[in-house]
Amino acid sequence: DGFPALASSSSSGGVHVWHLEKQQLLASLPQAHDAAVSTARFLEGEPVLLTTGGDNAVKMWIFDQEDGSARLLRSRNGHSAPPT
């Protein structure tokens, strides 16, 4: 919605999205990946978050739920090494 947001990630595979102006947690994906999350990046101008992890998966999350949460839009896994 054009507000400043930050995605943080954890070594346990979780991703959390924060509203920077309100200093408030917007959404939590506690098991986004089966290993540490290495990348979490929003697509500019879109309600989409791209994540990669040590589980060798690339996932695309879309924040289109009524409560502001995300759902998995696309996923690719089975890489021979973690995506970079």
Please say whether the beta carbons of 26 and 19 come within 8 A: yes
Write the pLDDT tens digit of every residue in 14-51: 999 999 999 999 999 999 999 999 999 999 989 999 99
* pLDDT value at residue 78: 80
Indicate if the pLDDT at residue 60 is higher than 60: yes
CA separation, residue 11 to residues 15, 47, 55, 64, 78 (Å): 10, 24, 11, 26, 20
Q: Is the dihedral of CA 43, 48, 54, 56 positive or negative?
A: negative
Return the amino acid letter for 79. Answer: H
**Which strand ranges, in their side-by-side order, compose the sheet holding 37-42?**
37-42, 48-53, 58-62, 71-76
Q: What's the pLDDT at 84?
A: 66
